[in-house]
Amino acid sequence: MVGIELPPFLLFYLGAVIALLGGATWRGPAMIVVIVLSALNLWQLPAFYGVETQLMGMDLKPIHIDRLSLLFGYLFHIAALISVIYSLHVKDKMQQVAAMLYAGSALGAVFAGDLMTLFVFWEMLAVTSVFLVWARRTDMAYHAGMRYLMTQVISGMLLLVGVILYYQHQSSLMFNEIGLDSVASWFIFIAFGIKCAFPFFHNWLTDAYPESTPTGTIFLSAFTTKVAVYAMARGFPGTELLVYIGATMACFPIFFAVIENDLRRVLAYSLINQIGFMMVGIGIGTELGINGAVAHAFNDVIFKGLLFMSMGAVLYRTGRINGSELGGLYKSMPKTAVLCIIGAASISAFPLFSGFVSKSMIMSAALKDNFDVVWLLLLFASAGVFHHAGIKIPYFAFFAHDSGIRCKEAPWNMLLAMSIAAALCLTIGIFPELLYQHLPFATDYSAYDVSHILTQTQLLFFSALAFVWLNLKSLYPPELPSTNLDVDWLYRRPLPRLIKACGSIVRHQTDEALRRRIAVMGRTFEQRLATLHSGDGIFSRAISISSMVALVVTLLAVLLVFRFF
């Protein structure tokens, strides 16, 4: 690979071709080889590498590498490798081809140096990822996938409109800081926001991810939203509106996650919660804020992937994922339970775990820039994370009560993938400098000072105490078979009915108008026909015998000419 400079996404697309044409037995190992070769190719590319070209008079930069995009590039290779190892037991060609195209599209998006290239890969992300939802092959997965695809396509169309308007205004398509100072930038901002799962645009995530296959969800949790976080960090750093949007995102999913029964949907809400922290860091816009957001995105892919993998293993072995139907699985799946606890400790930001070294950066940035209320909201959100992801996920899946389910431990490849993720959570948590040295801005930040450790330890202690007290008093929301209403109820129930009713009214009015028009046309035709037969009409006139004879002779002559000549 040395001396050969390939676009970072290209080898993944070639891997998709291999997965399409290869045999089922060696398809998975071949995908791992492709990912490793792609990582080596990325590693040996020159710093600040770029490719420039022209298309129809527009200057394009399809590949642009800097510290921000490079870190996401490494992250996506790690995520792809772990996800493929986790899914080695899968022999579904559709999933494997879609996964490689999806991961390659994510790489293409983060290394896009211009907005048009970004748009192309933005749409490729939507088209390829939906097959991971449909791969479960159930009616619910099909409908969830359709809603997911519609939302992603709307995001892409908004991005395209914004790109066109931006080019008309700026005469440039280079993907640099955009800012909210024009109509074009607002279109782009909303397009990014939909993929970031902004409030009221978030239900595509909580709707589709839990309906995907156990392995497909791991890929989905790693790429789509993180590409959007990257795009927001490059295009809108320092946009104060993001601080308040992020604080909202960090808080509101907690209430849904606490009462949710489907444990993968709990993690989907938790994913929105963690993206909220990242949005706050990007909105603050300082070097510490951006570094914190990017570092937390890196860590979130790993520890959230670990939690999704543990729940995927539970679903794979038991066929169940509702908290009300699980419990006592530590007896059958002890290794999975331990690995899940490591992921739970990481997302809860326990000291010596990865979440602690990145979340504290965002909290510190909020305090330094005098966002005191936002800091308090993030503190509340941190306590909520511990409740719904740090405690609820492992507790109700493995320990709450004995459901009587006895099953095999997760397959070896699942355990290997989860072990790699768990090792990364611990390594980054213990040696944060390994991550800090690759952040967009140089930093001398130290997560392990007395104030950070004491604040977080006290927060976790009292959160655990509250959970125990609420459980003892039977006040904690029980795991019940139920459907919780969210914003998606509006477009899944009343909106289709409204469209159907409006369509019925339109059809009725159209039918009435058409009937009236046909009746008028019939009466007009009847009147004109009656006029032809009236006293002066052409069909009422008398014709002389000589005229009739002449007409008959003329017709006979014409027939003879056609017959003999």
Range 384-399 average pLDDT: 90
- 449/171 Cα distance (integer angstroms): 48
- 105/118 Cα distance (integer angstroms): 10
For the chain, helix (H) and strand (E) counts, in that order, are: 22, 2
pLDDT by residue (tens digit) across 469-484? 887 777 777 766 767 7
pLDDT by residue (tens digit) across 318-365? 999 998 899 899 999 999 999 999 999 999 999 999 999 999 999 999
- 302/222 Cα distance (integer angstroms): 8
| Residue in 217, 207, 209, 226 with CA at minimum distance from that of residue 87 | 217
pLDDT score for 3? 55
**51 vs 440, residue with greater confidence:** 440
Q: Report which residue type is found at 171.
A: S
pLDDT score for 541? 64
Is 424's pLDDT higher than 80? Answer: yes
pLDDT score for 504? 76
Strands annotated E in 246-370: none
Q: Report which residue type is found at 29.
A: P
Burial 21-53 (b: 16+ CB within 10 A, else e): ebeeeebbebbeebbeebbebbeebeeeeeeee
- 365/357 Cα distance (integer angstroms): 13
How many Å is the maximal CA-CA distance in the chain? 125
| Residue in 169, 178, 437 with CA at minimum distance from that of residue 298 | 437
State which H helix or E strand residue 52 sits in.
strand 50-55
Is 536's pLDDT higher than 70? Answer: no
- 347/384 Cα distance (integer angstroms): 11
Is 537's pLDDT higher than 70? Answer: no
8 Å CB contact between 414 and 339: no
| Residue in 357, 362, 398 with CA at minimum distance from that of residue 381 | 362
1 falls in which pLDDT band (50, 70, 90)? very low
Alpha-carbon torsion (273, 275, 280, 286), positive or negative: positive
pLDDT by residue (tens digit) across 65-112? 999 999 999 999 999 999 999 999 998 999 999 999 999 999 999 999
Cα separation values, 17 from 14, 84, 98, 216, 456, Å: 5, 16, 10, 19, 48
| Residues above pLDDT 90, as percent of the chain | 67
487 falls in which pLDDT band (50, 70, 90)? confident
pLDDT by residue (tens digit) across 197-243? 999 999 999 999 999 999 999 999 999 999 999 999 999 999 999 99
8 Å CB contact between 279 and 242: yes
In the structure encoding, which two tokens stand for residue 160, read together? 């395209």
Alpha-carbon torsion (313, 318, 322, 325), positive or negative: negative
User: What phi, psi does 58 have (nearest 5°)?
Assistant: -100, 135
pLDDT by residue (tens digit) across 246-276? 999 999 999 999 888 999 999 999 999 999 9
8 Å CB contact between 431 and 357: no
User: What's the mean per-residue pLDDT of the chain?
Assistant: 90
Residue spans of the domains in the chain: they are 1-236, 237-484
pLDDT score for 471? 78
Is 59's pLDDT higher than 90? Answer: no
159 falls in which pLDDT band (50, 70, 90)? very high
pLDDT score for 2? 46
8 Å CB contact between 231 and 118: yes
- 124/97 Cα distance (integer angstroms): 13
Place of tokens 């308090």: 376
Range 516-532 average pLDDT: 78
Please return the burial class of 380, using the count of CB atoms within 10 Å of its CB with bins 0-12, 13-18 and 19+.
middle
- 173/194 Cα distance (integer angstroms): 21
Secondary structure of residue 384 in the 3-state scheme: helix
pTM for the full model? 0.86
Q: Report which residue type is found at 50.
A: G
The residues near 260 (Cβ < 8 Å, ≥ 6 apart) are 266, 269, 484
| Residue in 126, 94, 121, 85 with CA at minimum distance from that of residue 106 | 121
| Residues above pLDDT 70, as percent of the chain | 96
DSSP 225-278: HHHHHHHHHHH-TT-HHHHHHHHHHHHHHHHHHHH--BHHHHHHHHHHHHHHHH
DSSP 130-189: HHHHHTT-SHHHHHHHHHHHHHHHHHHHHHHHHHHHHHHHHS--B-S---SSSHHHHHHH
Is 120's pLDDT higher than 80? Answer: yes
Strand partners, 63: 51
